[in-house]
Structures are given as C-alpha cells and as structure tokens.
C-alpha cells in the first residue's frame, strides 16, 4: 500500500475534470495537480514542443514523489504517448482507457472523436479504436474553439454562442450517424450538457476524464498502491505556471463544487 500522492497534469485547468472523477472514485488518495496555464493551449503547438512540455510537467510532479502520473490531456496523450517509457512510476494518458470504453459502448460500430487539432491530426483515437475492432467506423473532428469557450465561461447549455459552435463542429459527425462520441479533451465534459442537447439522447458521450480515473484506480489496485487508510480524506495540492488569480472561480466549474484552495505558481521552465 502507498500513501504517496497521484500526480495529474494538463495544459490548463481542464484536467480538473479528471481530478473530480478521481476524488469521487478514490476519495482517500492525495492528489497533486499541475496546470500549465502559462503555455495553454497545447493543441496548437508542434509535436516536438508538446513532448518537451509534457516531460517538464511530469518532472515537476516527480519532485512530489507521486506514485502515478496521469496526463489528463488529450493532446499530450495523443502526441507524447512514449512518455510512459521515460518515467519511473506508473503512467497513463486518456486515450487508451477512453477508446476501450467507446469500443464497448457502440452498437452501430460508428464512433465520433472530437478534440483539439493536435489530437485529431495524430489520429491516436482512431488508430487505437481500430486496434480494438477494425470494423468500427471512426469520424474525427477537431473543435479548436471549445477550449477557449470553456476557459471564457461560455458553458451554459442554452448559450447561443456555445450551441452554434457545437452545431457547426459536430455537423459532419452527426451526418455520419454515429451512436457514440468521445469527448477527447478534458475541457469538453464541462459543456457535455450542451453537446448532448445538440446530438440527442441516443448518442452516448464518453468522458475521457471519467474513464481515465477508472483505469487509474484499477492500475493502483493491481499494483497494491492504493492508500492504506480507508478512513482518511485525501488532500489536494494545486500548482499553475501562470498567475493563480481567478483559480477558485474556474476550479469550481471544473470540480463541480465551490472550492477554496491555495494554489501556487511555479516556473515550469526549471524542470
């Protein structure tokens, strides 16, 4: 058993949706979160830059003696999948757990994948889904405006700007008559209700943060690394690379509750 914390990182604060799920599934575990708010978004960066950023983020978390690292970022998980080979602790991104869940969920063998431009251009979700079942049709669509919409607070399902943006991006996905859509960025669950309203109840939305949290819990259990004290409540530490001003307001949206945490700004370029 291990009381060491779980490390989670993302290009911004979207990865807090994964933290929300981890706290629900593993309430005894300590979590150290790093959001690279000074360099967000990763989705428009070159592959080499994304890989360098991801390694720096992971090195920062290793300084906190974490027992596992989760890249709660679809872009990193897609572009820097080799990161696990360079780390001394257990690691997972969001792609593999999410693809597995989607392949199990689809009845029509038609899956839509939405994500950042870097994620979609890597075809990571498509390729892994085909690894599970080559007969599944995968329709990919990048949605570059979703992250800034969420970061700017346009998250209400009835907001006309949000709805029109979703309708515009998801038109080709819906024309393909998919029955399952992967939310391939941890920001996207924040507008899940708005997306569901556009695509309809018959389309199942797969939350990458939720599926990754379930997978992380499984790995920790298999390796006897779960917290030994089942009565304790896990602690959370939050770090960002830009000013922490306004963190509480944004974090409240992503975590689904009012928060009042101390957040520390660090220089990620030192790692």
Q: Give the span between the Cα atoms of 8 and 146, in whole angstroms.
A: 22
Q: Give the span between the Cα atoms of 224 and 46, in whole angstroms.
A: 38
Contact 120/140 with Cβ under 8 angstroms? yes
Q: Give the span between the Cα atoms of 185 and 78, in whole angstroms.
A: 11
Strand partners, 7: 32, 69
Contact 178/110 with Cβ under 8 angstroms? yes
Strand partners, 34: 9, 239
The tokens describing 270, both together, are 């030192």
Q: Give the span between the Cα atoms of 47 and 172, in whole angstroms.
A: 26
| Residues with active-site annotation | 73, 185
| C-alpha angle 203-206-210 in degrees, rounded to nearest 5 | 150
Helices (H) and strands (E) in the chain, counts: 11, 10
The closest of 39, 33, 129, 31 to 78, measured between CA atoms, is: 129
């Amino acid at each position: 058993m291990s009381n060491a914390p779980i490390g989670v990182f993302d290009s911004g604060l979207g990865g807090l949706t994964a933290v929300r799920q981890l706290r629900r599934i593993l309430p005894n575990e300590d979590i150290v979160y790093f959001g690279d708010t000074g360099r967000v978004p990763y989705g428009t960066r070159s592959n080499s830059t994304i890989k360098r950023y991801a390694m720096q983020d992971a090195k920062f978390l290793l300084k906190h003696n974490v027992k596992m690292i989760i890249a709660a970022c679809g872009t990193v998980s897609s572009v820097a999948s080799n990161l696990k080979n360079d780390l001394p602790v257990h690691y997972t991104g969001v792609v593999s757990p999410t693809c597995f869940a989607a392949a199990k969920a689809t009845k029509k063998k038609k899956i839509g994948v939405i994500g950042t431009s870097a994620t979609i251009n890597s075809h990571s979700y498509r390729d892994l889904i085909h690894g599970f079942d080559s007969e599944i049709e995968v329709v990919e669509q990048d949605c570059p405006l979703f992250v800034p919409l969420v970061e700017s607070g346009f998250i209400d399902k009835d907001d006309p700007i949000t709805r029109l943006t979703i309708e515009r991006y998801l038109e080709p996905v819906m024309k393909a008559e998919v029955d399952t859509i992967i939310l391939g960025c941890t920001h996207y669950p924040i507008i899940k209700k708005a997306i569901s309203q556009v695509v309809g109840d018959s389309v199942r939305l797969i939350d990458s943060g939720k599926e990754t949290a379930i997978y992380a819990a499984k790995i920790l259990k298999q390796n006897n690394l779960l917290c030994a004290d089942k009565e304790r409540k896990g602690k959370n530490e939050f770090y960002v690379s830009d000013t922490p001003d306004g963190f509480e307001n944004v974090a409240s949206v992503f975590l689904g509750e009012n928060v009042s945490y101390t957040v520390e700004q660090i220089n990620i370029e030192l790692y």
